[in-house]
Structure 1
Amino acid sequence: MAVPDPHLRQILRWCEGRIPERALHQVRVECTVRAAHVTIFEVRAPWADGPRRAIAQLRHDGALWRLYGPDRNARWQRLADVPPHSSPGPLLDVVGQPRFW
């Protein structure tokens, strides 16, 4: 199953707008898509060799989006206190909170 195109565009816009333009030479927020999973990363300069830290993963099951966060062993754990949503927007609001950064 693939990520719906309007939802993917929403996630990409969120990533692009996350960092102020004046700081883009130091840090970026990027995402990768694999099947129905979108993983959000913080990437530090230099881009080719800089550290890349996984922030969150959004998973789509065909109807609902669920939010996952990395544990201390870099394994994805579902955030039980965040209810699933039909669009990724409310989950991106949660990811934008300081506890993810």
Structure 2
Amino acid sequence: MARQFESLPFRSIFILSQIYIIKFSMKDIRSHRAGMIGCAIGVAVIEITARGGEINHANILYELERIAASSNDLQVKAFSLDAAELLRKQSEEASES
């Protein structure tokens, strides 16, 4: 398929790639979102470790919120806040049980 577009200008290839991205199924989008939330939690843990902090629930939540607040990228903010919300819900469910 790549050979078919070799003669097209870069902008056309970019537009075609964006159209391909739009055609993702909901399953693909959920999978991507779950992966990015996992990455956000991983980054928070790495940041805490790099500072020599203790890895616990409260510190991870604080770091995720700090990452969201300090970033100008809307996707970073969204995934960091989604990860924090997910951890809060998990904590509430565990305390109810």
TM-score, with structure 1 as normaliser: 0.28
Q: Which has the higher contact order (CA 8 A, sep 6+)?
A: 2
Greater radius of gyration (CA): 2
Larger strand fraction of residues: 1
